[in-house]
Amino acid sequence: MTPAPPPAEGGPPARRRPGGRTSRIRTQVLDAVRAELGERGYDALTMEAVAARAGVHRATVYRRWRDVGGLLADVFEAASDDDWQPQDTGSLLGDLAALNHESQESLAAQPPIVAALFAASFRSEEAARGVRRLWEDRYTRCEVIVSRAVRRGELPPDTDARRLLIAATAPVYHQLVLLRTPPDPDLPGQAARTAVLAAAAGAFAKSPPDGDA
Amino acid sequence: MTPAPPPAEGGPPARRRPGGRTSRIRTQVLDAVRAELGERGYDALTMEAVAARAGVHRATVYRRWRDVGGLLADVFEAASDDDWQPQDTGSLLGDLAALNHESQESLAAQPPIVAALFAASFRSEEAARGVRRLWEDRYTRCEVIVSRAVRRGELPPDTDARRLLIAATAPVYHQLVLLRTPPDPDLPGQAARTAVLAAAAGAFAKSPPDGDA
């Protein structure tokens, strides 16, 4: 789960969908935004560079996206427009570890598109709203991990899915995005295991056994 | 624990220390950087605005800090130059909850200086190195929370202090900095309690009972 899955390397963009000229232009332009961000960073991102890279008339880009904030907002919007689902590995620990591995890979990918999108979200109110909606979408899709675990009897029914998911995933983002430590192959599994142990001890019960914190 | 404690509101800067003219100028300039960042954000940060606000000659600011990256690096450097210690509340849960409350308050403070420093750290390599060193310093100082808990018999001696501290604190930063959710009064205590429950279940043992993640 990442705020923006990286496009397939080299090959055609993973989310190109059937559609007319309008949808093709959108795909070209948003691919160009991601490529510019990854290679040159937010500071070098201009409407002109995106139009040139996409091979689309500048006037079209201005008319449809208005400014760099509009382009970024649409990149986040498009990122929700996929059929991503968390892996179903058959266990809560496996599902959370797989999710964290996927996040760590996206965050460590080169060029650093996801990192550049985080940086952009600190600059533009429009991008910040986009990233907020995208996280909400991703965490909502991940709730199935918890409901599957409840069905299997791994978790009690009154588990707060969102709190469990945040506890399981936050350390990966914290270390890679904020602390800027290099990817640690043990981190995805350790963070998943910590959340599973805490869940077994009742940490995410909606009515906690004691409210002393 | 935050990458940069906010200056005391209204009153004199908390970290003004005895010293000569050089140290006084540094204090004035770094206070001006923080104030500019908090009020106008990174994009409006210029050497000129900082010099004017600090009441210091532009030439002095250029000579000593060279550019905006140099100013930011010194803000992070100065933030380590305090005597901050985590609170000693007498229990692991209390210590971690107090730490998280402090972080949440700094992250939610107005003007948003800490948030602006995060944003800056995505823009400047020098600022990124500064923030990395500062986190390292803060987490090292927090290790006493774990060693006190070990002494009290609350934790086994082979507890991985850093992993426990990151598990306890990451959700607060994740929600406020990355997910941009408003401060939640329950979050600091819940994140602390989750880490304590996971610790009791052996999640942070340096040689985990099972390595299946």
**Whole-number Å distance between alpha carbons of A54 and A49:** 8
Domain boundary among B58, B80, B102: B80
- A contacts of B200 (beta carbons < 8 Å): 201
Q: If you ran DSSP here, which 8-state letter would residue A90 be given?
A: S
Task: Report if residue B143 sits inside a domain.
Answer: yes
In a domain, A4, yes or no: no
Rounded to whole angstroms, how far apart are CA atoms B95 and B144?
Answer: 10
Q: Residue B129 belongs to a domain with what CATH number?
A: 1.10.357.10
| Minimal C-alpha gap between B189 and chain A (Å) | 5
Mark whether B99 and B184 lie in a shared domain. Answer: yes
Specify the DSSP class assigned to residue B176: I
Phi, psi of B159 (to 5 degrees): -75, 135
Distance from CA of B25 to the nearest CA of A (A): 30
Lowest average pLDDT, out of A8-12, A53-57, A163-167, goes to A8-12
Tell me the count of A-B CB pairs closer than 8 A.
Answer: 118
Q: Which residue of B has its CA nearest to A44?
A: B123
A75 and A98 share a domain?
A: no
Q: Which two tokens stand for residue A193?
A: 């295991």
Give the residue from A174, A177, A207 with the most B CB atoms within 10 Å of its CB, the best one to mutate: A174
Tell me how far apart the alpha carbons of residues A109 and A6 are, in angstroms, rounded to a whole number. Answer: 8
On the question of a cis peptide bond just before residue A171, with omega within 30 degrees of 0, the verdict is: no
Query: CB contact, 8 Å: B40 with chain A?
Result: no
Mean pLDDT of A125-150: 93
| CA distance linking residue B58 with residue A17, whole number of Å | 55
pLDDT, one tens digit per residue, over A80-120 is: 888 999 999 999 999 999 999 999 999 998 888 887 888 78
Greatest distance between any 2 Cα atoms in chain B: 62
Please give, rounded to a whole number of angstroms, the shortest distance from the CA of B78 to a CA of chain A.
18
Domain count of chain B?
2
Q: What does residue A2 show for φ and ψ, rounded to 5 degrees?
A: -140, 155
- Taking the CA of residue A24 and the nearest CA in chain B, the distance in Å comes to 31
CA atoms in the 13 A half-sphere facing the CB of B156? 15
CATH code of the domain in which A69 resides: 1.10.10.60
Name every chain A residue with its beta carbon within 8 A of the beta carbon of B126.
Answer: none
Query: Angle B21-40/B68-80 helices, nearest 10 degrees?
Result: 110
Residues A97 and A188 in one domain: yes
Closest residue on chain A to B115 (Cα): A122
Residue B156 and residue B193 in one domain: yes
Average pLDDT, chain A: 87
In a domain, A9, yes or no: no
The residue from B80, B110, B130 where one domain ends is B80
d(CA A50, CA A32): 5
Check if A169 contacts B (Cβ < 8 Å).
Answer: yes
Q: Domain check: are B158 and B76 in the same one?
A: no
Inform me whether the C-beta atom of residue A194 falls under 8 Å from chain B C-beta atoms.
yes
Which of A115, A166, A178 has its CB closest to that of B171? A166
Residues of A in Cβ contact (< 8 Å) with B40:
none
| Pair B104, B73 in one domain | no
On chain A, the residues whose CB falls within 8 A of the CB of B42 are 123
As a whole number of angstroms, the distance between CA A42 and CA A117 comes to 8
**Residues A98, A192 share a domain:** yes
Distance CA B180, CA A139 (A): 14
Tell me the one-letter amino acid at B187. Answer: L
Query: In terms of CA atoms, which chain A residue is nearest residue B132?
Result: A179
Smallest Cβ–Cβ distance between B180 and the set A128, A198, A208 belongs to A128
- Model confidence pLDDT, tens digit, residues A48-84: 999 999 999 999 999 999 998 899 889 988 988 889 9
- Region A12-38: what's the mean pLDDT? 80
DSSP per-residue codes, A172-190: HHIIIIIS-PPP-TTHHHH
Give the pLDDT confidence score for residue A10 in this predicted structure.
37
Q: Which of A59, A80, A101 is the last residue of a domain?
A: A80
CA nearest to A206 within chain B: B190
Same domain, B172 and B98: yes
Residues A137 and A168 in one domain: yes
Q: CB-CB: which of B128, B197, B204 is closest to A202?
A: B197
Residue B16 inside a domain? The answer is no
pLDDT recorded at residue A116: 80
Following DSSP, what letter does each residue of A11-48 receive, concatenated? SS-TT--S--HHHHHHHHHHHHHHHHHHHH-GGG--HH
Exposure pattern of A99-124 as b/e (b: 16+ CB <10 Å)?
A: bbbbbbebbebebbbbbbbbbbbbbb
Distance in angstroms (rounded) separating the CA atoms of residues B191 and A166 = 10
In a domain, residue A59? The reply is yes
Q: Name the closest residue on chain B to residue A208, using Cα atoms.
A: B190
Domain range holding B41? 21-80
Same domain for A96 and A74: no
Mean pLDDT in each 10-residue stretch from start to end of chain B (213 residues)? Answer: 45 52 93 92 90 97 93 89 94 98 92 81 83 92 98 96 98 93 95 98 81 46
Residues of A in contact with B43 (CB under 8 A): 123
Non-local CB neighbours of A121 within 8 Å, separated by 6+ positions: A3, A72, A127, A128, A130, A131
Claim to verify: residue A76 and residue A110 sit in the same structural domain: no
Integer Cα distance of B80 and B85 in angstroms: 11
Domain-located, residue B153: yes
Give the per-residue pLDDT at A150.
97
Is the domain of A72 the same as that of A97?
Answer: no
Two tokens, residue A202? 């009742």
Query: What would the two tokens of residue B103 be?
Result: 């972080």
Residue B43 at interface with chain A, using a CB cutoff of 8 Å = yes
Indicate whether A37 belongs to any domain: yes
Which residue bears the tokens 């599902």? A95
Chain B residues within an 8 Å CB radius of A130: none
Q: Quick check: A90 contacting B, CB < 8 Å?
A: no
Q: Is A52 within 8 Å of chain B by CB?
A: no
Rounded Cα distance, A40 and A6, in Å: 16
